[in-house]
Structure 1
Protein backbone atom coordinates (compact mmCIF):
# COMPACT_ATOMS: atom_id res chain seq x y z
CA UNK A 1 0.00 0.00 0.00
CA UNK A 2 1.34 3.42 -0.96
CA UNK A 3 1.99 5.97 1.77
CA UNK A 4 0.86 9.33 0.38
CA UNK A 5 1.37 12.46 2.50
CA UNK A 6 -2.06 13.87 3.41
CA UNK A 7 -0.78 17.44 3.53
CA UNK A 8 -0.22 17.50 -0.23
CA UNK A 9 -2.77 17.92 -2.99
CA UNK A 10 -3.81 14.93 -5.07
CA UNK A 11 -1.93 16.17 -8.14
CA UNK A 12 1.23 16.70 -6.07
CA UNK A 13 0.93 13.19 -4.65
CA UNK A 14 0.43 11.73 -8.12
CA UNK A 15 3.40 13.69 -9.48
CA UNK A 16 5.76 12.56 -6.72
CA UNK A 17 4.82 8.88 -6.89
CA UNK A 18 4.98 8.65 -10.69
CA UNK A 19 8.26 10.56 -10.81
CA UNK A 20 9.78 8.37 -8.08
CA UNK A 21 8.87 5.20 -9.96
CA UNK A 22 10.55 6.54 -13.10
CA UNK A 23 13.68 7.91 -11.42
CA UNK A 24 14.14 4.81 -9.24
CA UNK A 25 13.89 2.48 -12.22
CA UNK A 26 10.57 0.83 -11.39
CA UNK A 27 9.38 2.02 -14.80
CA UNK A 28 12.29 2.10 -17.24
CA UNK A 29 12.48 3.98 -20.52
CA UNK A 30 9.95 2.70 -23.03
CA UNK A 31 7.48 1.50 -20.40
CA UNK A 32 3.86 2.02 -21.48
CA UNK A 33 1.43 3.34 -18.86
CA UNK A 34 -2.26 4.17 -18.98
CA UNK A 35 -4.22 6.72 -17.00
CA UNK A 36 -6.47 3.90 -15.81
CA UNK A 37 -3.59 1.82 -14.46
CA UNK A 38 -2.19 4.88 -12.68
CA UNK A 39 -5.64 5.71 -11.34
CA UNK A 40 -5.96 2.18 -9.93
CA UNK A 41 -2.44 2.30 -8.47
CA UNK A 42 -2.85 5.67 -6.76
CA UNK A 43 -6.53 5.28 -5.84
CA UNK A 44 -7.49 8.63 -7.29
CA UNK A 45 -9.37 10.02 -10.27
CA UNK A 46 -7.75 10.71 -13.64
CA UNK A 47 -7.86 14.51 -13.20
CA UNK A 48 -4.89 14.86 -10.80
CA UNK A 49 -3.05 12.15 -12.72
CA UNK A 50 -3.39 14.08 -15.99
CA UNK A 51 -2.05 17.19 -14.25
CA UNK A 52 0.92 15.21 -12.92
CA UNK A 53 1.62 13.70 -16.35
CA UNK A 54 1.54 17.13 -18.01
CA UNK A 55 4.17 18.31 -15.52
CA UNK A 56 6.31 15.22 -16.07
CA UNK A 57 6.10 15.68 -19.84
CA UNK A 58 7.41 19.24 -19.47
CA UNK A 59 10.36 17.77 -17.55
CA UNK A 60 11.01 15.28 -20.34
CA UNK A 61 10.36 12.18 -18.21
CA UNK A 62 7.26 10.99 -20.09
CA UNK A 63 5.71 11.47 -23.51
CA UNK A 64 1.95 11.72 -23.91
CA UNK A 65 0.43 10.34 -27.07
CA UNK A 66 -3.27 10.59 -27.97
CA UNK A 67 -3.14 7.10 -29.49
CA UNK A 68 -0.61 5.29 -27.31
CA UNK A 69 -1.17 6.78 -23.86
CA UNK A 70 1.85 7.48 -21.66
CA UNK A 71 5.37 6.34 -22.50
CA UNK A 72 8.31 6.70 -20.11
CA UNK A 73 11.03 8.55 -21.98
CA UNK A 74 14.45 7.11 -22.66
CA UNK A 75 17.22 9.50 -21.56
CA UNK A 76 19.65 9.82 -24.47
CA UNK A 77 23.42 9.82 -24.00
CA UNK A 78 23.50 13.35 -25.43
CA UNK A 79 21.04 14.53 -22.77
CA UNK A 80 22.99 12.80 -20.00
CA UNK A 81 26.21 14.50 -21.08
CA UNK A 82 24.46 17.87 -21.20
CA UNK A 83 23.26 17.30 -17.63
CA UNK A 84 26.82 16.49 -16.55
CA UNK A 85 28.07 19.77 -18.01
CA UNK A 86 25.44 21.74 -16.10
CA UNK A 87 26.16 19.85 -12.88
CA UNK A 88 29.84 20.52 -13.31
CA UNK A 89 29.24 24.26 -13.55
CA UNK A 90 26.79 24.38 -10.62
CA UNK A 91 28.67 22.18 -8.19
CA UNK A 92 32.20 23.41 -8.77
CA UNK A 93 31.01 26.98 -8.27
CA UNK A 94 29.27 25.95 -5.03
CA UNK A 95 32.36 24.06 -3.84
CA UNK A 96 34.68 27.03 -4.27
CA UNK A 97 32.25 29.47 -2.67
CA UNK A 98 31.42 27.31 0.35
CA UNK A 99 34.84 25.96 1.35
CA UNK A 100 35.68 27.08 4.88
CA UNK A 101 32.33 28.85 5.34
CA UNK A 102 30.00 26.05 6.44
CA UNK A 103 28.77 25.48 9.98
CA UNK A 104 28.63 22.36 12.16
CA UNK A 105 24.98 21.70 11.31
CA UNK A 106 25.87 21.39 7.62
CA UNK A 107 28.56 18.81 8.31
CA UNK A 108 26.36 16.87 10.73
CA UNK A 109 23.84 16.40 7.92
CA UNK A 110 26.53 15.58 5.36
CA UNK A 111 28.15 13.06 7.72
CA UNK A 112 24.80 11.39 8.30
CA UNK A 113 24.36 11.00 4.54
CA UNK A 114 27.87 9.56 4.23
CA UNK A 115 27.28 7.09 7.06
CA UNK A 116 24.09 5.85 5.41
CA UNK A 117 25.88 5.60 2.06
CA UNK A 118 28.45 3.26 3.60
CA UNK A 119 25.62 1.14 5.00
CA UNK A 120 23.90 1.01 1.61
CA UNK A 121 27.12 -0.22 -0.04
CA UNK A 122 27.59 -2.96 2.56
CA UNK A 123 24.01 -4.09 1.91
CA UNK A 124 24.54 -3.75 -1.88
CA UNK A 125 21.46 -1.55 -1.97
CA UNK A 126 22.08 0.46 -5.12
CA UNK A 127 18.71 2.23 -5.02
CA UNK A 128 19.38 3.62 -1.55
CA UNK A 129 22.94 4.59 -2.45
CA UNK A 130 21.79 6.47 -5.53
CA UNK A 131 19.18 8.40 -3.53
CA UNK A 132 21.81 9.28 -0.92
CA UNK A 133 24.18 10.33 -3.72
CA UNK A 134 21.48 12.74 -4.80
CA UNK A 135 21.15 14.09 -1.26
CA UNK A 136 24.92 14.54 -0.91
CA UNK A 137 25.23 16.65 -4.04
CA UNK A 138 22.02 18.61 -3.48
CA UNK A 139 23.13 19.36 0.08
CA UNK A 140 26.29 21.03 -1.22
CA UNK A 141 24.45 23.26 -3.69
CA UNK A 142 21.79 24.04 -1.06
CA UNK A 143 24.61 25.40 1.11
CA UNK A 144 24.68 28.46 -1.18
CA UNK A 145 21.24 29.39 0.15
CA UNK A 146 20.21 30.40 -3.36
CA UNK A 147 16.74 29.19 -4.36
CA UNK A 148 17.44 29.39 -8.09
CA UNK A 149 20.56 27.22 -7.79
CA UNK A 150 18.76 24.73 -5.55
CA UNK A 151 15.80 24.47 -7.93
CA UNK A 152 18.06 24.05 -10.95
CA UNK A 153 20.01 21.29 -9.18
CA UNK A 154 16.80 19.47 -8.25
CA UNK A 155 15.60 19.47 -11.86
CA UNK A 156 18.92 18.13 -13.10
CA UNK A 157 19.06 15.37 -10.52
CA UNK A 158 15.79 13.75 -11.57
CA UNK A 159 17.24 12.82 -14.96
CA UNK A 160 20.78 12.39 -13.67
CA UNK A 161 19.75 9.66 -11.21
CA UNK A 162 18.51 7.49 -14.05
CA UNK A 163 22.00 7.55 -15.58
CA UNK A 164 23.80 7.13 -12.25
CA UNK A 165 21.75 4.09 -11.27
CA UNK A 166 22.62 2.40 -14.58
CA UNK A 167 26.31 3.16 -14.01
CA UNK A 168 26.35 1.57 -10.56
CA UNK A 169 24.34 -1.48 -11.66
CA UNK A 170 26.94 -2.14 -14.38
CA UNK A 171 29.90 -1.45 -12.09
CA UNK A 172 29.20 -2.14 -8.41
CA UNK A 173 32.88 -1.66 -7.55
CA UNK A 174 32.35 2.01 -8.39
CA UNK A 175 30.19 2.41 -5.26
CA UNK A 176 33.16 2.43 -2.88
CA UNK A 177 35.14 4.69 -5.21
CA UNK A 178 32.26 7.16 -5.32
CA UNK A 179 31.93 7.04 -1.53
CA UNK A 180 35.64 7.66 -0.95
CA UNK A 181 35.51 10.65 -3.32
CA UNK A 182 32.57 12.00 -1.32
CA UNK A 183 34.65 11.71 1.86
CA UNK A 184 37.51 13.68 0.29
CA UNK A 185 35.10 16.37 -0.91
CA UNK A 186 33.57 16.59 2.57
CA UNK A 187 36.97 17.11 4.21
CA UNK A 188 37.99 19.66 1.58
CA UNK A 189 34.82 21.65 2.25
CA UNK A 190 35.86 21.87 5.91
CA UNK A 191 39.29 23.21 4.92
CA UNK A 192 40.35 26.53 3.45
CA UNK A 193 41.43 25.60 -0.10
CA UNK A 194 38.47 26.33 -2.38
CA UNK A 195 40.50 25.37 -5.42
CA UNK A 196 41.10 21.88 -4.01
CA UNK A 197 37.40 21.32 -3.28
CA UNK A 198 36.52 22.49 -6.77
CA UNK A 199 39.11 20.16 -8.31
CA UNK A 200 37.90 17.13 -6.30
CA UNK A 201 34.27 17.72 -7.26
CA UNK A 202 35.15 18.22 -10.91
CA UNK A 203 37.13 14.96 -11.02
CA UNK A 204 34.27 13.15 -9.26
CA UNK A 205 31.73 14.30 -11.83
CA UNK A 206 34.05 13.81 -14.80
CA UNK A 207 34.84 10.23 -13.75
CA UNK A 208 31.20 9.16 -13.99
CA UNK A 209 30.91 10.98 -17.30
CA UNK A 210 33.90 8.97 -18.58
CA UNK A 211 32.23 5.70 -17.55
CA UNK A 212 29.09 6.67 -19.48
CA UNK A 213 31.16 7.17 -22.62
Structure 2
Protein backbone atom coordinates (compact mmCIF):
# COMPACT_ATOMS: atom_id res chain seq x y z
CA UNK A 1 0.00 0.00 0.00
CA UNK A 2 1.19 3.49 -0.88
CA UNK A 3 0.70 6.48 1.44
CA UNK A 4 -1.99 8.95 0.42
CA UNK A 5 -0.51 12.06 -1.15
CA UNK A 6 -2.33 15.16 -0.02
CA UNK A 7 -2.50 17.92 -2.60
CA UNK A 8 -1.28 21.26 -1.30
CA UNK A 9 -3.77 24.08 -0.94
CA UNK A 10 -3.26 27.34 -2.82
CA UNK A 11 -2.44 29.03 0.48
CA UNK A 12 0.29 26.44 1.22
CA UNK A 13 1.79 26.90 -2.25
CA UNK A 14 1.77 30.69 -1.91
CA UNK A 15 3.29 30.44 1.57
CA UNK A 16 6.14 28.21 0.36
CA UNK A 17 6.87 30.40 -2.67
CA UNK A 18 6.96 33.59 -0.62
CA UNK A 19 9.00 32.05 2.18
CA UNK A 20 11.57 30.69 -0.25
CA UNK A 21 11.82 34.05 -2.04
CA UNK A 22 12.36 35.80 1.29
CA UNK A 23 14.99 33.38 2.54
CA UNK A 24 17.09 33.34 -0.63
CA UNK A 25 16.93 37.12 -0.95
CA UNK A 26 14.82 37.34 -4.11
CA UNK A 27 12.66 40.02 -2.47
CA UNK A 28 14.44 43.26 -1.62
CA UNK A 29 13.90 44.16 2.02
CA UNK A 30 13.22 47.76 0.99
CA UNK A 31 10.39 46.73 -1.34
CA UNK A 32 6.83 47.30 -0.15
CA UNK A 33 4.65 44.26 -0.80
CA UNK A 34 0.88 44.47 -1.13
CA UNK A 35 -1.76 41.79 -1.42
CA UNK A 36 -2.74 43.14 -4.84
CA UNK A 37 0.84 43.07 -6.12
CA UNK A 38 1.43 39.53 -4.87
CA UNK A 39 -1.93 38.36 -6.16
CA UNK A 40 -1.08 39.59 -9.66
CA UNK A 41 2.48 38.23 -9.58
CA UNK A 42 1.37 34.77 -8.45
CA UNK A 43 -1.84 34.83 -10.49
CA UNK A 44 -4.12 33.86 -7.64
CA UNK A 45 -6.84 35.43 -5.53
CA UNK A 46 -6.06 37.69 -2.56
CA UNK A 47 -7.44 35.29 0.07
CA UNK A 48 -4.55 32.77 0.01
CA UNK A 49 -2.13 35.71 -0.26
CA UNK A 50 -3.64 37.29 2.86
CA UNK A 51 -3.44 34.02 4.80
CA UNK A 52 0.15 33.28 3.75
CA UNK A 53 1.31 36.82 4.54
CA UNK A 54 -0.34 36.61 7.96
CA UNK A 55 1.60 33.42 8.74
CA UNK A 56 4.89 34.90 7.56
CA UNK A 57 4.28 37.98 9.68
CA UNK A 58 3.67 35.82 12.76
CA UNK A 59 6.93 33.98 12.03
CA UNK A 60 8.81 37.27 11.96
CA UNK A 61 9.84 37.15 8.30
CA UNK A 62 7.52 39.97 7.20
CA UNK A 63 6.74 43.26 8.92
CA UNK A 64 3.40 45.04 8.54
CA UNK A 65 3.45 48.72 7.55
CA UNK A 66 0.08 50.35 8.35
CA UNK A 67 -1.82 51.57 5.28
CA UNK A 68 1.05 50.54 2.98
CA UNK A 69 1.68 46.80 3.02
CA UNK A 70 4.55 44.61 4.16
CA UNK A 71 8.30 44.37 3.81
CA UNK A 72 10.86 41.69 4.53
CA UNK A 73 12.19 41.74 8.08
CA UNK A 74 15.62 43.34 8.23
CA UNK A 75 17.93 42.12 10.97
CA UNK A 76 20.07 44.89 12.44
CA UNK A 77 23.76 44.47 13.27
CA UNK A 78 22.90 44.59 16.95
CA UNK A 79 20.33 41.82 16.51
CA UNK A 80 22.82 39.69 14.57
CA UNK A 81 25.29 40.03 17.44
CA UNK A 82 22.60 39.02 19.95
CA UNK A 83 21.50 36.00 17.92
CA UNK A 84 25.06 34.70 17.51
CA UNK A 85 25.80 35.33 21.20
CA UNK A 86 22.73 33.37 22.29
CA UNK A 87 23.36 30.55 19.83
CA UNK A 88 27.00 30.28 20.85
CA UNK A 89 26.09 30.04 24.54
CA UNK A 90 23.20 27.62 23.96
CA UNK A 91 24.90 25.29 21.51
CA UNK A 92 28.30 25.12 23.20
CA UNK A 93 26.55 24.11 26.41
CA UNK A 94 24.62 21.44 24.53
CA UNK A 95 27.82 20.00 23.09
CA UNK A 96 29.51 19.85 26.51
CA UNK A 97 26.53 17.90 27.85
CA UNK A 98 26.32 15.61 24.85
CA UNK A 99 30.02 14.71 24.67
CA UNK A 100 29.88 12.46 27.72
CA UNK A 101 26.73 10.59 26.67
CA UNK A 102 26.82 10.55 22.86
CA UNK A 103 26.10 7.17 21.26
CA UNK A 104 27.35 5.65 18.01
CA UNK A 105 23.81 5.87 16.64
CA UNK A 106 23.68 9.61 17.34
CA UNK A 107 27.04 10.13 15.66
CA UNK A 108 25.76 8.25 12.61
CA UNK A 109 22.63 10.41 12.51
CA UNK A 110 24.64 13.62 12.65
CA UNK A 111 26.90 12.35 9.86
CA UNK A 112 23.83 11.50 7.77
CA UNK A 113 22.57 15.06 8.14
CA UNK A 114 25.93 16.40 6.97
CA UNK A 115 25.88 13.91 4.10
CA UNK A 116 22.48 15.15 3.02
CA UNK A 117 23.78 18.71 3.27
CA UNK A 118 26.58 17.78 0.89
CA UNK A 119 24.02 16.41 -1.57
CA UNK A 120 22.03 19.65 -1.33
CA UNK A 121 25.19 21.63 -1.96
CA UNK A 122 25.93 19.63 -5.13
CA UNK A 123 22.35 20.22 -6.28
CA UNK A 124 22.68 23.93 -5.42
CA UNK A 125 19.57 23.70 -3.25
CA UNK A 126 20.28 26.44 -0.71
CA UNK A 127 16.88 26.25 0.96
CA UNK A 128 17.23 22.53 1.66
CA UNK A 129 20.86 23.04 2.69
CA UNK A 130 19.85 25.59 5.33
CA UNK A 131 17.01 23.38 6.57
CA UNK A 132 19.52 20.56 7.12
CA UNK A 133 21.94 22.99 8.74
CA UNK A 134 19.29 23.95 11.28
CA UNK A 135 18.43 20.28 11.81
CA UNK A 136 22.09 19.56 12.60
CA UNK A 137 22.23 22.25 15.28
CA UNK A 138 18.81 21.38 16.70
CA UNK A 139 19.61 17.68 16.83
CA UNK A 140 22.66 18.28 19.00
CA UNK A 141 20.52 19.91 21.69
CA UNK A 142 17.86 17.22 21.45
CA UNK A 143 20.46 14.45 21.81
CA UNK A 144 21.81 16.29 24.86
CA UNK A 145 18.28 16.43 26.37
CA UNK A 146 18.49 20.21 26.58
CA UNK A 147 14.80 20.74 25.89
CA UNK A 148 14.52 24.34 27.06
CA UNK A 149 17.64 25.36 25.16
CA UNK A 150 16.31 23.52 22.10
CA UNK A 151 13.08 25.52 22.28
CA UNK A 152 15.01 28.79 22.54
CA UNK A 153 16.93 27.88 19.40
CA UNK A 154 13.67 26.98 17.65
CA UNK A 155 12.22 30.39 18.56
CA UNK A 156 15.12 32.01 16.69
CA UNK A 157 14.73 29.63 13.75
CA UNK A 158 13.56 32.01 11.02
CA UNK A 159 15.88 34.86 11.96
CA UNK A 160 18.75 32.37 12.02
CA UNK A 161 17.76 31.14 8.55
CA UNK A 162 17.91 34.68 7.19
CA UNK A 163 21.42 35.07 8.58
CA UNK A 164 22.41 31.67 7.23
CA UNK A 165 21.31 32.42 3.69
CA UNK A 166 23.21 35.70 3.72
CA UNK A 167 26.35 33.88 4.89
CA UNK A 168 26.07 31.41 2.01
CA UNK A 169 26.45 34.27 -0.46
CA UNK A 170 30.21 33.94 0.14
CA UNK A 171 31.74 31.62 -2.45
CA UNK A 172 32.81 28.34 -0.90
CA UNK A 173 30.99 28.87 2.39
CA UNK A 174 28.75 25.84 1.91
CA UNK A 175 31.79 23.55 1.70
CA UNK A 176 33.42 25.28 4.67
CA UNK A 177 30.32 24.67 6.79
CA UNK A 178 30.43 20.96 5.99
CA UNK A 179 34.06 20.80 7.11
CA UNK A 180 33.25 22.66 10.35
CA UNK A 181 30.30 20.37 11.09
CA UNK A 182 32.44 17.28 10.54
CA UNK A 183 35.11 18.62 12.92
CA UNK A 184 32.46 19.12 15.61
CA UNK A 185 31.26 15.54 15.14
CA UNK A 186 34.84 14.25 15.36
CA UNK A 187 35.24 15.99 18.73
CA UNK A 188 32.04 14.38 19.95
CA UNK A 189 33.30 10.97 18.84
CA UNK A 190 36.29 11.26 21.19
CA UNK A 191 34.08 12.72 23.95
CA UNK A 192 35.90 16.06 23.94
CA UNK A 193 33.12 18.45 24.89
CA UNK A 194 35.39 21.46 25.40
CA UNK A 195 36.88 21.09 21.92
CA UNK A 196 33.45 20.60 20.34
CA UNK A 197 32.13 23.69 22.15
CA UNK A 198 35.11 25.77 21.01
CA UNK A 199 34.66 24.61 17.41
CA UNK A 200 30.98 25.57 17.56
CA UNK A 201 31.82 29.05 18.85
CA UNK A 202 34.33 29.52 16.04
CA UNK A 203 31.82 28.17 13.49
CA UNK A 204 29.17 30.70 14.53
CA UNK A 205 31.66 33.56 14.79
CA UNK A 206 32.77 32.94 11.20
CA UNK A 207 29.13 33.10 10.09
CA UNK A 208 28.67 36.41 11.92
CA UNK A 209 31.76 37.97 10.33
CA UNK A 210 30.74 36.82 6.84
CA UNK A 211 27.24 38.26 7.24
CA UNK A 212 28.75 41.62 8.21
CA UNK A 213 30.90 41.76 5.08
CA UNK A 214 28.62 40.19 2.47
CA UNK A 215 26.41 42.67 0.63
CA UNK A 216 22.73 41.81 1.12
CA UNK A 217 19.46 43.31 -0.12
TM-score category (smaller protein): 0.7 to 0.9
| 1:174-199 CA distance string (max 9 Å, x none) | 22222111101011122222111111
2-side partners of 1:17 and 1:94: how far apart?
A: 34
SS where residue 33 of structure 1 aligns? coil
2-side partners of 1:39 and 1:151: how far apart?
A: 35
Say whether the 8 Å CA contact 1:62–1:71 is kept in structure 2.
Answer: yes
2-side partners of 1:147 and 1:21: how far apart?
A: 31
1:89 partnered with 2:92: no
Matches within 5 A, 1:157-168: 157-168=157-168
2-side partners of 1:121 and 1:55: how far apart?
A: 28
Taking a change above 3 Å as real, the CA distance of residues 6 and 125 of structure 1, as seen in their structure-2 partners, is closer
1:128 CA displacement = 3.4
1:133 CA displacement = 1.6
Matches within 5 A, 1:1-213: 18-36=18-36, 41=42, 46=47, 50=50, 53-54=53-54, 56-169=56-169, 171-213=170-212
2-side partners of 1:68 and 1:74: how far apart?
A: 17
1-side partners of 2:210 and 2:177: how far apart?
A: 12
2-side partners of 1:121 and 1:20: how far apart?
A: 16
Q: TM-score, length-normalised on structure 1?
A: 0.78
Unaligned stretches of 5+ residues in structure 1: none
1:60 CA displacement = 3.4
Q: TM-score, length-normalised on structure 2?
A: 0.77
| 1:134-192 CA distance string (max 9 Å, x none) | 221122122233443222212223112222222221x2222222211110101112222
Taking a change above 3 Å as real, the CA distance of residues 30 and 39 of structure 1, as seen in their structure-2 partners, is same
Q: In terms of mean alpha carbon deviation, does 148-157 or 192-201 score higher?
A: 148-157
Q: CA RMSD in A?
A: 3.1
1-side partners of 2:104 and 2:13: how far apart?
A: 34
1:80 CA displacement = 1.5
Unaligned stretches of 5+ residues in structure 2: 213-217
1:11 CA displacement = 8.0
| 1:63-97 CA distance string (max 9 Å, x none) | 21232112222222222221111111110110101
Say whether the 8 Å CA contact 1:95–1:194 is kept in structure 2.
Answer: yes
Q: In terms of mean alpha carbon deviation, does 9-18 or 174-183 score higher?
A: 9-18
